[in-house]
Amino acid sequence: MPATMQQETWQQLLSFESRDLVSMWFKKIHGRELNARRAKEITAAAAQSREFFRNSNSSANSVKPLLTFYGVASLARALTLLLRRDGGEEGLSKGHGLETVDWSNQLSGELSVGIAALYGLKIRTCSGLFSDFAEHTQSRIPIHVNSSAVDWRLKYPRVDIGDEFSFGEITRRMPDLRKEHEILGEKLLYSDINDMNYEPNKGINIKVQAKTFKNFQDEYYSMGYSFQEAGNIIIIDSNSDLTNENIPQFLHSYLHKTFGTIPNLFLVAPMPNGKRYSQLCMMYIIAFVLGMLVRYFPTHWVSLSQGNKGDALWPTINRAHRCIEESFPEMVAEMVEDILSNPL
């Protein structure tokens, strides 16, 4: 296994390929025995995921994101089957759970115009693995404030079938792409969190960098949050009712960690449709877009990655793929560990 595949993460995920360990996890989570068939379904999906990621890691850019998406989908399938109390593979919804929206028209015409406009590609949620994955993980996000361990966890509202958004609306909210966003001159839609306190019965108090938070402050103001500016910091407060009704959108930077171990936490602008998604769900969406682009529009993909006119988004998209390749397996391993100690 190549060193760049994050050996420690994949060592942890090897437990997903052990019938005995998966059976032990299932009993701890659900309080019941796991039958042999479902155990095999979980371990087989995990083993397939590892092979897809391994092959992606050593493949050329022309096919890499497609293999990565298959790895993401297989690992999402394994986690969904583990967290699903009843029923095995036969009970999962068919399909990826996402569908492209009018890509053929958006990418028709001059090639350079098409690859320059990839941010505008639309995606819609539908019945399938993505919706099952979101449901059974409960759109849960472990929160790191000042520790490599999980300080607490939050759950976002259910993902609705028919939600529609663009590729750019997702990628513009990913803190790990900050360098690329700055190079492109994009307005940052996330702000570094200096400190945060959260108590379910009291609410939340967040200290963020004022400069970047002001880019999307109005969205939180419209949700009912109050602010107090103190120099370069803005302090955001809300009571428990408001926090529970309108949970802030949080995301972490996993590629760029404090001391190399602590994922950096950011407050992020909600999606334009007002929805919030877990980081695992957002990673799945990005992996799907890149995989479908490679599979069904290879001319656009190869042109994007080979220095053709209109390729300004290539560094951003390349980094986005790296986020998926390195961070998605790590977040799944983290999710399993957290759920075993703090059940859903």
**pLDDT tens digits, one per residue of 90-110:** 778 889 999 999 999 999 889
Give the global pTM: 0.94
Q: Are strands 152-155 and 249-258 parallel, antiparallel or unpaired?
A: unpaired
- 61, amino acid identity: N
Q: Which of 1-5, 243-247, 321-325 shows the highest mean pLDDT?
A: 321-325
**Residue 7 CB coordination number (10 Å):** 11
Residue extents of the structural domains in the chain: 3-341
Please state the rounded mean pLDDT for residues 139-161: 88
- pLDDT for the residue numbered 316: 96
Q: Give how far Cα 180 sits from Cα of 185, 188, 242, 267, Å.
A: 9, 11, 34, 19
**Residue 241 CB coordination number (10 Å):** 10
- pLDDT for the residue numbered 344: 62
- 14, amino acid identity: L
The token pair at 54 is 């391994």
Mark 304-341 as b/e (b = at least 16 C-beta within 10 Å): bbeeeebbebbebbbbbbebbbbbbbbbbbbbbebbee
Helix (H, G, I), strand (E, B) or coil at 200: coil
Mean pLDDT rounded to a whole number for the chain: 92
Residues 6+ apart with CB under 8 A from 74: 45, 46, 48, 49, 52
Please state the rounded mean pLDDT for residues 68-96: 91
- pLDDT for the residue numbered 199: 84
Please state the rounded mean pLDDT for residues 235-253: 90
- pLDDT for the residue numbered 5: 52
* pLDDT single digits (tens) 162-218: 999 999 999 999 999 999 999 999 999 999 999 998 888 888 999 999 999 999 999
Please state the rounded mean pLDDT for residues 131-136: 94
Q: Please report which confidence band the pLDDT of residue 76 belongs to, taking 50, 70 and 90 as the band edges.
A: very high
Tell me how far apart the alpha carbons of residues 201 and 76 are, in angstroms, rounded to a whole number: 32
For Cα atoms 68, 110, 69, give the angle at the middle one, nearest 5 degrees: 10
Query: Taking 90 as the threshold, does the pLDDT of residue 2 lie above it?
Result: no
Tell me how far apart the alpha carbons of residues 16 and 4 are, in angstroms, rounded to a whole number: 20
Query: Taking 50 as the threshold, does the pLDDT of residue 1 lie above it?
Result: no
Tell me how far apart the alpha carbons of residues 308 and 286 are, in angstroms, rounded to a whole number: 22
Instruction: Tell me which of 9-18, 146-155, 329-338 is least confident.
Output: 146-155
State the virtual CA torsion across 61, 323, 73, 341 in degrees, nearest 10. Answer: 150
Phi, psi (rounded to 5 degrees) for 308: -85, 165
Helix (H, G, I), strand (E, B) or coil at 97: strand
* pLDDT single digits (tens) 274-324: 889 999 999 999 999 999 999 999 999 999 988 889 999 999 999 999 999
